[in-house]
Amino acid sequence: MGQRRSAAWVVVGLVAVVLTTMVAGLLPRLASDVVGDPAAAKAAPVAAEVDPSPDRGPGDRADAPPEETPPPAPAGPPERAGKRGTVYLTFDDGPDPRWTPQVLDVLRRHGVHAVFFEVGQNVAAYPDLVARVRAEGHLIGNHTWSHAKLTDLRSRAIRDQLDRTDAALGGRARCVRPPYGATDPRVADVIGARGQRTVLWDVDPEDWAKPGTDRIVRRVLAQVHDGALVLMHDGGGDRSQTVAALEQVITRLQERGYVFGLLDC
């Protein structure tokens, strides 16, 4: 009887070893299917005000944040930032048939140029606005096809977002700005492998939240520095405050001795 019990325990032990080995081999495969950083996603801020989300494009998650979700803090300025006495203006989420022309009018009155990071769906919808942006000496960057959060997408879906936008623009943009500033080493590698640069920002007046014209101006003036890269918006919602603030931002910065440069995009 004792020998039979010993044999039974040996069999149980062998089965346990086999099961443990199988589970250990399966775990890495499961982990490799997880895309993005769940901890970072939980840490992302929540918008106090959200507009209805538009239809999403290829590869985008159905529960991705809408366009007016505030971006997380960017990782840092692009390579060109840092030139003494120079400020770089950038605008996201256009072109918009109401607000982009008004932003362009302000820039033209002041002789200032900027980079417009445009959403592919809007580019396809308003090609005449894209043509005007270029005709007036501004540059255009890729802001994905559907304002997708790239850290939530697989690499193939990221490339699809960028490819469709570049096709709508008529050629590959030199610079990409990930919506919400959502990037990580994998996203940066996908963008870099295409010969494109990731461009973020280091001055954010949070004009997307419509805090009031005066507050937008004060925030820019408080954060500005040599080589500052300023984030504002010409699409994705009501941008009347941004348009009004832009007039004052340009004038006040020029009074401080700043000049406006154009990123190499």
Supply the residues annotated as catalytic. 92, 233
DSSP assignment of 14-29: HHHHHHHHHHHHHHHH
CA 239 to each of CA 49, 81, 93, 189, 207: distance values in angstroms, whole numbers, following the listed order: 14, 26, 11, 33, 8
Helix axes 127-135, 99-110, angle to 10 degrees: 10
Retrieve residue 198's tokens: 């990731």
- Report which residue type is found at 201: W
Sign of CA dihedral 182, 184, 187, 188: positive
Tell me the β-bridge partners of 139.
Answer: 115
- Cβ-based burial of 48 (10 A; exposed 0-12, middle 13-18, buried ≥19): exposed
Name the residue among 218, 243, 247 with its Cα closest to residue 232: 243
Residue 176 pairs in a beta bridge with: 142, 198
Q: CA 66: distance to chain centroid?
A: 12
Contact between residue 115 and residue 262 where contact means Cβ atoms under 8 Å apart: yes
Cis-peptide, bond into residue 66, ω within 30° of zero: no
